[in-house]
Amino acid sequence: MLLRRLTASTPSGAAGSVTQSSAQSDAATASQSSSGTLPWILDSGASFHMTPDRISLSSITPSSLPITVQTAGGSSLSVAGQGTLLSPSFHVPAVFYVPKLTMQLISAGQLTNHGCRVILESDSCCIQDRITGLLVGTGPRRCDSQRLWELDWLRLPSAASAGLVGSAASTSSTSSFAQWHHRLGHLCGSRLSTLVHRGLLGSVSVDVSLEQCQGCRLGETAPASLLF
């Protein structure tokens, strides 16, 4: 995985380690330049969620004890604090703010500790709430040499509301197949059917055809020839 090991301990002068190669940094930089922001990488080796973007975090509290991250190059990156990641696509508590980090990481270990199941496919990844069985995050797998899994969205329930999610889900209206098709970025019908059959999307009406999806029809339309 991207980070082989990242650990943090609480004694004074605590230090962690991070394996961050130049190729991985280049891949992150390239992705940032194309999308305007650093992607969130799902990583099984990270011990906690991390970001260098302070603006995306709310309710930041400074670290009570000094914590540093040791990179493969020998430099130390200080953890400046911890907050909650809040955006239209993300709600993730307990994210560490590391100002000089060059990547944004979601810890698979922290997700499992939060009561989630991490599902890795050959071309995508899914995060499922173990209690409700509902999908709380998805993302694609890169097609480059790194083959990393990214998260397009991830919304983890807070500890206070976790107990209410099950009852809310049971009383919510049934979503249609087409609605989930749009929510998941026009995911193909076969992949969407797999998620439905696994129960990852809750109650779904599957009697809706995707043939009328205007976005997919436009995407399949061959570009017109250019005349010179």
Q: What is the pLDDT of residues 64-96, one digit of tens each?
A: 888 877 665 677 889 999 999 999 999 999 999
Judged against a pLDDT cut of 50, whether residue 158 lies above it is answered with: yes
Q: What is the domain extent for residue 206?
A: 169-221
Which of 76-80, 107-111, 137-141, 215-219 is predicted with the least confidence, judged by mean pLDDT? 215-219
The whole-number pLDDT of residue 169 equals 43
227 within some domain: no
Query: 144 and 198 in one domain?
Result: no
Give every CB contact of residue 108 below 8 A, 6+ residues apart in sequence: 42, 43, 44, 46, 118
Query: 88 and 8 in one domain?
Result: yes
Query: 80 and 15 in one domain?
Result: yes
* Residue 171 binned pLDDT confidence (cut-offs 50, 70, 90): very low
Is the pTM higher than 0.85? The answer reads no
228 within some domain: no
Which of 76-90, 123-137, 149-163 is predicted with the least confidence, judged by mean pLDDT? 149-163
The whole-number pLDDT of residue 174 equals 60
Query: 139 and 189 in one domain?
Result: no
R_g (Cα) of the chain, nearest Å: 20
164 within some domain: no
49 within some domain: yes
Judged against a pLDDT cut of 50, whether residue 157 lies above it is answered with: yes
Per the model's pLDDT, the better-predicted residue between 93 and 212 turns out to be: 93
The whole-number pLDDT of residue 36 equals 54
Judged against a pLDDT cut of 90, whether residue 170 lies above it is answered with: no
Scan for tokens 């991830």, then name that residue. Answer: 154
- Section 42-53 average pLDDT: 89
Judged against a pLDDT cut of 80, whether residue 180 lies above it is answered with: no
